[in-house]
Amino acid sequence: MSASLLINPTAMEAGLMAAAKARAAGPGQAAALKAFARTGLPHRRMEGWKWTDLRQALRAELPPADGEAAVIAPSSFSGVDAFEITIMNGAAEWPDDAPEGLSVRLVEGGGPAPAVARDHPTGNLAVAMCDRIVELRIGKTVARPIHLRRIAGGGASHSRVAVIVEEGAGATLIESYDGAGRYFANSLTEIDLGRGARLTRDILQDGSDDGVEAALCAGALAEGAAFHQLALLLGGKTVRMETRLALEGAQAEVDFRGASILSGARHADLTTHVAHHAPGSTTRQLHKSVLRERARGVFQGKFLVARGAQKTDAQMQARALLLSEAAEVDHKPELEIYADDVQCAHGAAAGALDADALFYMRQRGLDEKTARALLVEAFLGEIFDRPERVNIAEILRRRMRCWLESAP
Amino acid sequence: MLKIDNLHVAVGGAEILRGATLEVPAGEVHAVMGPNGSGKSTLSFALAGREGYEVTQGTALFDGEDLLALDPNERAARGLFLSFQHPLEIPGVATMNFIRTALNAQRKARGEEEVSAADFLRRIREKARLVGLSDDKLKRPFNVGFSGGEKKRMEMLQMALFEPRFAIMDETDSGLDIDALKMVGDVVNALRDGRRGFLVITHYQRLLEHIRPDRVHVLAAGRIVKSGGADLAHELERAGYEQFIEAA
């Protein structure tokens, strides 16, 4: 197959490619750069990027970020006793008191893209741009949460993290994506869950109005592994939070819960792809969006069930609440099923606040803003009802309430 | 106390109330009866300030104040309560939290002190017993999974708790059994202290056995076409509304 090179790269794309080429890159990085050179930044005419056009968002060139980002407000998770790894514009730092069961190191020389992310434009870009991988190896269950605190500002940056959870071990990974001013933050997080391993991933994306974020998580699950993701997205200029999982072993378990709460002209795209390759796995997904002013929310979820993945049980639900006429949501739930003995379903719905409920509450004495906030919170509530992870769910709930209070 | 004069209300461009005139002095219970489609619910929604109920003419004064100029929550804070004909379920909204937030919002608007959590809990449990709702029902999301009768009891619970100065009861009796009707009567009668007013909208006179009205009005085709004493309810039960529909 002959691959054509990008004919008219934008200034940003040309800059990114020149920067990648200038590195003393290993074969994995060279291959990734070659792949990126064919596609460039993803744009609306590409499959899966119709509503999230990174090329357009990065029309004006951003220089590489140089170290320090602008001053960032304290992390929403500052009250959590977590082992914090800071990734400031791509540069990682962590204290040397890693909790028992966890080892952290920098793997020099990059390495090839993980299989799940090989044809992915921002995944390839991260591989091409990163000479180092921050590797988190979890040999036995780590009780203390691990906080990956990503901070971006003042330019373009790329980072690559690998999380390996060995057989039977487990960990909680908190990921915050903060940013200030104009930036492009591109990240690739690779997850490898061994047999019976468990990983909980709690995400708070809380960027700036002008921030562009492309976060790809690519994971593989062995038999009996469990992956739970809870994500709260506040969006930015253009934000893509994508998770692609390959369930390679049988009886794996995936649970995705997420909420996008967007205001102003913000955009956020939550995209997931779960490939069931082995029998008896379960995936549960619920995503809710609340959009006000001119905000735009995107949800794309796909379950692929291979021929051998009998007894797969996969359910997907996406719901959106549009609080203004100009807000927009795009839902794309997809099933692609090759096995015949499976239970798979998806549903998507979008609507406005219930006017009857609003009037009822106002008749009881609540002013309009309070009544609306209570109804929005009721809509989102189940996303944060995580009795097994009260602390973190409550932090996300508080952030959500802050957002509600900021309503005009 | 409540003075409605020549009230015209349109819903979706269609005029439903066509010059309703009615006065309920403090301390009195007035019943409004009338056939389907006569404008009874429109009257209650217009008085409560529901969007889409456009007042095209006339006035409604509450203690001399222009009720129609106020937001729904301001009307509630003045002490106007509407018991809904079809109370709705509000999934995800915790019952106690909602009612306490509403009660305190009303009190705050009136410059009264908020009710503490402990005090509120004591009061709401007492009212739940009064209207025949178990504590368990208070722990659910608002009205979710409730029967029609239980939803009406929840309306009465709120009425007993808020102690409104003026209550509009829109067909509170529909779907209620005899014991529940008696309970509704008990809630209303406990609030009748000579200073409050009530507008009881109903099809039947059976609720009026428990709440003896001072006046009965017949609403037909958007107007009050006849007013009388409590006996008028009996007469309507016997003779029907036909004569009034023709008259209107």
- What is the pLDDT, as a whole number, of residue B241? 81
How does pLDDT run across A372-397, given as a tens digit for each residue? 999 999 999 999 988 777 789 999 99
Q: What is the mean pLDDT of residues B111-126?
A: 96
For residue B115, the chain A residues in CB contact (below 8 A) are: none
Residues of B with CB under 8 A from a CB of A: 48-51, 71-73, 75-77, 81-82, 84, 87-88, 90-93, 98-99, 101-103, 105-106, 109, 141, 158, 162
Question: Quick check: A156 pLDDT over 60?
Answer: yes
**Residue B5 pLDDT grade (very low, low, confident, very high; cuts 50, 70, 90):** very high
Residue A2 has pLDDT above 60, yes or no: no
| Best mutation target, B93, B112, B154, B161, to test chain A (most A CBs within 10 A) | B93
Write the CA distances from A108 to A23, A25, A81, A165, integer angstroms.
Answer: 13, 11, 29, 20
The CA-based dihedral angle spanning residues B52, B53, B58, B61, taken in that order and rounded to the nearest 10 degrees: -110
Instruction: Look at B93 and A364 and tell me if their CB atoms are within 8 Å.
Output: no
Q: B3 or B34, which is more confident?
A: B3
How confident is the model over A280-295, as a mean pLDDT?
Answer: 98
Closest CA to B80 of B4, B11, B136: B4
Asked if A361 lies within 8 A of B98 by C-beta distance, the reply is yes
Q: b/e per residue, B198-221, with b = 16+ CB within 10 A?
A: bbbbbbebebbebbebebbbbbbb
Q: Residue A220 falls within a domain, yes or no?
A: yes
B102 closest CB neighbour out of A359, A366, A382 = A366
CATH of the domain at B88: 3.40.50.300
Residue B81's beta-bridge partner residues?
B167
Domain count, chain A: 1
CB atoms within 10 A of CB A32: 29
Q: CB of A295 within 8 Å of any CB in chain B?
A: no
Q: Which of residues 349-378 of A touch B (CB under 8 A)?
A: 354-357, 359-368, 370-371, 374-375, 377-378
Over 90: is that where the pLDDT of A23 sits? no
List the 155-174 stretch of A: residues with Cβ below 8 A of B. Answer: none
What pLDDT, in 10s, does the model give residues A121-134? 999 999 999 999 99
In a domain, A292, yes or no: yes
Residue A111 C-alpha from the chain's centroid: 22
Query: Is A205 part of a structural domain of the chain?
Result: yes
Determine the Cα–Cα distance for residues A259 and A209; give it in Å rounded to an integer: 18
Distance of alpha carbon A50 from alpha carbon A40, whole angstroms = 15
The predicted pLDDT at position A24 comes to: 64
A359·B51 Cβ contact <8 A? yes
Name the residue with tokens 């929403």: A76
Predicted local confidence at residue A362, as pLDDT? 98
Which among A95, A137, A132, A91 has a CA at the least distance from the CA of A111?
A132
**The pLDDT of residue A1:** 35
Residue A386 maps to a domain: no
Structural contact between residues A278 and A248, judged by C-beta atoms closer than 8 angstroms:
yes
The per-residue pLDDT for A25 is 73
**pLDDT given for residue B245 in this prediction:** 67
pLDDT tens-digit series, residues B24-33: 999 999 999 9
Looking at the predicted structure, is the pLDDT value of residue B246 above 70? no
Q: Is residue A291 part of a domain?
A: yes
Residue B182 has a pLDDT of 93
Q: Give the gap in angstroms from C-alpha B226 to the nearest C-alpha of chain A.
A: 29
Phi-psi region of B105 (alpha: psi -120 to 50; beta: other; left: phi over 0): alpha
pLDDT for A4: 55
CB B228 within 8 Å of CB B215: yes
For residue A86, the cross-strand partners are A93, A149
pLDDT band at A70 (very low <50, low <70, confident <90, very high): low
Chains A & B: contacts with CB separation below 8 Å: 73
Decide if A171 is inside a domain: yes
Whether residue A341 is contained in a domain is answered as yes
Residue B137 near residue B146, CB atoms below 8 Å: yes
In a domain, A366, yes or no: no
Q: What ipTM describes this predicted complex?
A: 0.97
Q: How far apart are CA A306 and CA A362, in angstroms?
A: 51
Q: Considering chain A, what is the average pLDDT of its residues?
A: 94
CA A88 and chain centroid, separation: 18
* B92 with A377: Cβ contact below 8 A: yes
Q: Which residues of A touch B77 (CB under 8 A)?
A: 365
**In angstroms, what separates the C-alpha of A27 from chain B's closest C-alpha?**
53
Yes or no, beta carbons of B82 and A368 under 8 Å apart: no
What percentage of residues in chain A have a pLDDT greater than 70?
Answer: 98
Interface touch A360/B88, C-beta < 8 Å? yes
Q: At what angle do helices B117-131 and B95-109 cross, to 10 degrees?
A: 110
Nearest CB to A360: which of B84, B101, B162?
B84
What residue numbers bound the domain in which B100 lies?
2-247
- Dist. CA B184–CA B156, nearest whole Å: 7
- Percentages (nearest 5) of helix, strand, coil residues in chain B: 40, 30, 30
Provide the 3-class DSSP secondary structure of residue B34. coil
pLDDT in tens, A307-361: 999 999 999 999 999 999 999 999 999 999 999 999 999 999 999 999 999 999 9
Model pLDDT, residue A111: 80
Rounded CA-CA distance A241/A396 in Å is: 17
From the number of C-beta atoms within 10 Å of its C-beta (0-12, 13-18, 19+), residue A360 rates as: buried
Number of folded domains in chain B?
A: 1
Shortest Cα–Cα distance, A289 to chain B (Å): 16
**Single-letter residue type at B46:** A
Among partner residues A359, A367, A374, which is closest to B98 by beta-carbon distance?
A374
Q: What angle do CA A267, A272, A274 make, to 5 degrees?
A: 175
Q: Structural domain of residue A71, as residue ranges? A: 11-353
Residue contact B102–A357, C-beta within 8 A: no
- Per-residue pLDDT, averaged over B173-200, amounts to 93
Whether the predicted pLDDT of A94 surpasses 90: yes
pLDDT at A373: 94
